[in-house]
Structure 1
Amino acid sequence: MIKSIVFPSLKNALITLLFVGILFFNSVNSAWAKRPPEIRNQQDLNLEPDMHGQDLSGNEYVKFDLNGFNFSESNLEGAVFNNSKLQNSKFTGANLRDALAYATDFTDADLSDVNFTNALLMESNFEGAKIDGADFTDAVLSRTQQKQLCAIANGTNSSTGESTEYSLGC
């Protein structure tokens, strides 16, 4: 009698679990299908060095050499710059909220007044970068990066009203 009570419950639980799993994977696959296309081949795009004021949200630039590009005033929310070279690039007033820039080289870049809220910036190089008024609220940085940026932090972001020092936790 105990087997007949336990076994049907176990069978129902497994069926329910299977059903929930199918629903979960279908929703994940549909979410992935809605992502913007990944841009992998720089030469096929014929990228212009002046991207000023453009909506580039969600674009992916993986291992791109964007040295000297102008992204000022652009919407780069959720953009990906993994392992990209952005030396001497200009991002003044750009929105990089929720952006991912892992191991990206921002050497001598102008990051003034950039919104880096919730950005993932681990292993990126900010040597010589100008960060006056940049907002790093809840950005993910290593302790070494934080110390480096705190040494040059000043100003207040014009769109968020957050001071650079405070957003870095200096």
Structure 2
Amino acid sequence: MSKLRYQMCVSILNLLLWVVICITVSLGFAGFAPEALALDYNKESLIEAGFSGRDLTDSSFSHANLRSSNFSNANLSGVSFFAANLESADLEGANLTNATLDSARLIKANLTNAVLEGAFAANAKFDGAIIDGADFTDVLLRRDEQDKLCKVAKGTNPTTGRDTRDTLFCP
């Protein structure tokens, strides 16, 4: 085989390999969806918005109005809800691992079976929140909010197997 013909074959193979890699990345490898891109919803008014089942890893909703929005079964790992209004939001079964909930309003929010492990929730308000089966392992809470949550805490998280009262260190 001549040197020119060999170089053309190598070039064609490289091009084909490049096309396969691009298609694999864009469609997801072996049927898996590509990684979620972090989105910026800061200061947005998203009342009654639908985010159910979405992968919003590392997205930001700081100062957003998310009243009555649906985040059920969403992956909210590492998401910032700093000073967000989550009043009456549906967070059932959501993964809030390492989320920032500092100064967020979770009044009457549904946190049934949510995983909040490692979340930062100092100054968050949980008045009237439903926390049945929620996992608060290593969540930073103000003592008065922790006491309020202990009054209504019950259940075991189906994902982690942890008792809600135990994760809140309830007496």
Q: TM-score, normalised by structure 1?
A: 0.74
Letter of the aligned partner of 1:54 in structure 2?
A: R
In structure 2, the residue corresponding to 1:159 is in which secondary structure? coil
Pair 1:63 & 2:63 matched: yes
Letter of the aligned partner of 2:161 in structure 1?
A: G
What is the RMSD computed on CA atoms of the aligned residues?
1.7
Work out the CA distance in 1 between the residues paired with 2:89 and 2:43.
20
Aligned partner of 1:24 in structure 2 is none
Q: CA deviation at 1:152?
A: 0.5
Stretches of structure 2 that go unaligned for 5 or more consecutive residues are 1-36
Aligned partner of 1:127 in structure 2 is 127
Structure having the larger proportion of residues in helix: 1
Q: CA deviation at 1:145?
A: 1.1
Q: Of the candidates 30, 41, 44, which is equivalent to residue 42 of structure 1?
A: 44
Letter of the aligned partner of 2:123 in structure 1?
A: E
Work out the CA distance in 1 between the residues paired with 2:40 and 2:50.
20
**CA deviations over 1:111-170 (Å, ceiling 9, x no partner):** 100000000001011001000000000110111111111111000001000000000001
Work out the CA distance in 1 between the residues paired with 2:137 and 2:110.
18
Aligned partner of 2:83 in structure 1 is 83
Q: CA deviation at 1:40?
A: 2.6
Aligned pair count?
Answer: 134
Q: How do 1:111-150 residues align onto structure 2 when only pairs under 5 Å count? A: 111-150=111-150
**CA deviations over 1:29-77 (Å, ceiling 9, x no partner):** xxxxxx946443526xx78711110001100011100000000000000
Work out the CA distance in 1 between the residues paired with 2:148 and 2:129.
10
Work out the CA distance in 1 between the residues paired with 2:100 and 2:71.
15
Work out the CA distance in 1 between the residues paired with 2:121 and 2:43.
23
In structure 2, the residue corresponding to 1:131 is in which secondary structure? coil
Q: TM-score, normalised by structure 2?
A: 0.74
CA 1:52–1:144: 2 relative to 1, 3 Å: same
Q: Which runs of 4+ in 1 moved over 3 A?
A: 35-39
